[in-house]
Structures are given as C-alpha cells and as structure tokens.
Structure 1
Amino acid sequence: MFVTHLLVGINILLALEEKFMKTKKELPLCPVATTVGLIDSKWKLLILRDLLTDTKRYSDFQKSIPEISQKVLTHSLKSMVEDGIVIRIAYPEVPPRVEYSLSDLGNSLRPVIKVMEDWGKDYQANYNNED
C-alpha cells in the first residue's frame, strides 16, 4: 500500500515538473479570452461538469458523454492536464488504472460552471419558447 502511494506521489511530482519545465504559453490580453481558451469546447465543459462531482475514469466520461469520440476525449483530457485544470493519476497496477480529478485550479472554475448552469436553467424555463 505504501509503495502504491509513493508511486502515485512520484507520478504527480513528475507531472508537475513537466508542466513547469515547458515554456509558458502566451496568453491573450483579454481575461475572458484566456478563460474561453482554456475551456474552448463543449466537450471540455462537459468533462468539467463531470469532474465537479467526483474523480472519474476514462470509461466514466464515455458513459456520461456518449457523443464524444475517443480521439476528442483523449485530446481534451490531455489538454486539460497540460493546462493544469485536471490531474491525471496512473496507478501502477495490472490492469492499468488511470483516474482524473480537478486540480485546485480546476476547482476554481466551479463558480463559473455554476453560473453557466443557472443561466442555462433560466434560459430553458423562460426563453426557449417554440412559437
């Protein structure tokens, strides 16, 4: 058990080191554009929605977002990990087990997603009238 926790900790440290070793990408001047750039697709928003409830495995996303292709899901998760929004933990087990969870940065998007949810509920209730 200790070895598993140690290896998980090492994986996290290696991921953080890799993230900080990369050159910092140039961000847009507009803060809204920066935010949109990080969650720039409906798929990333749905992945965020799912991660707000709990840690997930790849297959969990496939079940909750059946319309997303394997390629797009893989790319979206990788991008979100690289941006520091999502943490990917690969456990040294057979068969392999990988889990995804929100980082502190990802959790800081919680109020943004909540406002979007509230706005969507209001729109559904009041403005989505078919005439």
Structure 2
Amino acid sequence: MAARKENSTNTQNRKHITDCNLTYSVCLVGGRWKLLILCKLEKGKLRFGELRKEVGNITERMLTLQLRELEEDGIVKRTVYAEVPPRVEYELTDISKELIPIWKQLSEWGGRHKALEK
C-alpha cells in the first residue's frame, strides 16, 4: 500500500472512523467518481486520457484528484514509463480486484431499484 500523507484531510478524517469497517470502506471508494473509475479499470490498464474518455463528464482536475487518492490508498496502481513523451498507466491492485463482485452486486441492485421507480 502506498504511504499516506499524514496531514491530508482524508487521512485525518479516516482516523476518526476506523472503528467502523463499513464506514472506512465507503470512505475509500465512495463519492461520485471512485467506483466508476474502478469499474472502467476492471478490463485492464488505461492511460489518463483513455480513462477520462471512459468515465466521461469528469474534469481533468477531478480525475487527477480521485486517482491520486485511490493510489495513496493502494486501490489503484500508477505506472510511469521512461519514454518520450512519458506514458502513465493506471490499473487495479489485487486488493481492489476483490471489490469487483461487490460493485457488480451494487450495479444489479441499482438496476432493480431504478426499475421500481418507473
């Protein structure tokens, strides 16, 4: 797992919620973008531009921030290749791959819930 910045807001907030495993987990992957980013990486490595196209409707800044947090938490691996121009790829880590069946279940649940609203 990547080293966390001890003074970051997320790290400070997590110190207060580590008693509840569910809340801790949701903080790691919650929010508008993180699960969507992870789902897009399920099929394999993607470069930043490819990931942005896949996610759609996300700003470069927001994608950068979300990827940085996911990397700090050991959920996404960032690989920089020594090429000109530099190539950077993002991929799921082994621990994040454990989430795949969970987000698939969430997606199915969401589909059923949406169907009830109609």
Q: Bin the TM-score by the shorter chain.
A: 0.7 to 0.9
When normalised by structure 1's length, the TM-score is 0.76
Moved more, 110-119 or 78-87: 110-119
Q: In the alignment, does 2:60 pair up with 1:67?
A: no
When normalised by structure 2's length, the TM-score is 0.84
> How much has 1:28 moved relative to structure 2?
2.1
Which residue does the alignment assign to 1:40? 30
Which residue does the alignment assign to 1:96? 86
Which residue does the alignment assign to 1:56? 46
Aligned pair count?
A: 111
Aligned-partner SS, 2:33 = helix
Work out the CA distance in 1 between the residues paired with 2:4 and 2:57: 35
Name which of 72, 81, 90 aligns with 1:82: 72
Identity %: 36
Which residue does the alignment assign to 2:107? 117
Which residue does the alignment assign to 1:128? 117
Deviations 1:32-87 (A, max 9, x none): 10111101212111101101121111011211222111111000000000000000
| Structure whose alpha-carbon radius of gyration is higher | 1
Moved more, 37-46 or 77-86: 37-46
The unaligned stretches of length 5 or more in structure 1 are 1-15
For the structure 1 residues 96 and 34, does the alpha-carbon distance in structure 2 shift closer, same or farther, using more than 3 Å as the test? same
Work out the CA distance in 1 between the residues paired with 2:5 and 2:96: 19
Residue identity in the other structure for 1:86: V
The unaligned stretches of length 5 or more in structure 2 are none
Aligned-partner SS, 1:59 = helix
